[in-house]
Amino acid sequence: MSSCCYNLHVFLILFFMMMMINSRGISGTTFTLINRCNHVVWPGTLANAGSNPLDSTGFELQPGESRSFGVPNGWSGRVWGRTGCAFDPTTNQGSCATGDCGSNQLECNGRGATPPATLAEFTIGSGASSSQQDFYDVSLVDGYNLPMMVEANGGSGACGSTGCSTDLNRMCPNELRGGAGQSCRSACEAFNTPEYCCNGDFGSPSTCRPSVYSEMFKSACPKAYSYAYDDATSTFTCTGADYIITFCPSATR
């Protein structure tokens, strides 16, 4: 083999090896959304600033149905479920009883969930290229409307499951109830005071402490964010995983 051909051969081998090593950086990960509820759920997705929208920002998921889509490396944003939606089959226009994104359409088109709503939050492939670490959590900081769990499939690291499988609507205090009992508001949304919203004089971890309401959420859902500074027990990491997001997960058990 000539030196020219040999060098080309070595280059191609190294090139394909690098492609394999960096494949996670190119293709990202996969989200699989599963509806185990006994009713229709309309998931919504929102990309944070600097991230492109996913293939769909809103769609319908019948009971027992699932849908998977790719998420590029470096993406950050949130996923949630809308309930009680009514959309015109011709125009796809309408609204939802909980988790509505205010777009007046099936697709949320860059709009987030109107509280109260259970949120799954992700940052995919953060940090150095060698680690490609993901960060994820399930948050009740904006209230609750649906049970939701996030599970890592594959990957390396701690890769714990997180979420809230308890139906908080059944135990929601009267002063937090929203939507005729279809959702449970956060104390911040209900009372709009600095001590509950962790702002103003209460805008730091040392001054904003758990309230009786956030402690109720935490007791029912120990792995979910219950208030703004609940990081220590509520943020999870994994490297190189796909993620399964299940609505009403307890229905499978």
Res 251: pLDDT: 57
Rounded Cα gap, residues 106 and 94, in angstroms: 7
Alpha helix segments (H runs only) across the chain: 3-21, 23-27, 187-191, 194-197, 212-220
With contact defined as beta carbons under 8 Å apart, do 76 and 47 qualify? yes
With contact defined as beta carbons under 8 Å apart, do 168 and 183 qualify? no
Helix, strand, coil in percent for the chain, rounding step 5:
20, 30, 45
Res 56: pLDDT: 94
Q: What is the mean pLDDT of each run of 10 residues along the chain (253 residues)?
A: 47 38 57 97 97 95 97 95 95 94 96 97 74 91 97 93 96 92 95 96 95 96 95 93 96 47
Extended beta strands in the chain, E state: 29-35, 42-47, 66-71, 76-82, 86-87, 94-95, 119-126, 133-139, 148-153, 162-164, 177-178, 183-184, 236-239, 242-247
Kindly report the backbone phi and psi dihedral angles of residue 83, in degrees, each rounded to the nearest multiple of 5, phi listed first: -130, 160
In DSSP terms, which residues pair with 46 in a beta bridge? 78
Amino acid at 90: T
Res 1: pLDDT: 53
Res 9: pLDDT: 45
Distance of CA 64 to the CA centre of its chain: 20
The structural domains of the chain, with segments of one domain joined by +, span: 27-252
**CATH code, 27-252:** 2.60.110.10
Give the CA-trace dihedral at 45, 48, 50, 56, to 10 degrees.
Answer: 0
Burial 206-222 (b: 16+ CB within 10 A, else e): eebeebebbebbbebbe
Integer angstrom CA distances of residue 205 from 17, 19, 80, 208, 230 = 45, 43, 26, 5, 9
Res 179: pLDDT: 79
Res 180: pLDDT: 83
Amino acid at 34: I
Res 17: pLDDT: 37
53: number of Cβ within 10 Å: 15
Rounded Cα gap, residues 201 and 206, in angstroms: 10
Length of the chain measured in residues: 253
Res 132: pLDDT: 80
Write the pLDDT tens digit of every residue in 113-152: 999 999 999 999 865 454 689 999 999 999 999 999 999 9
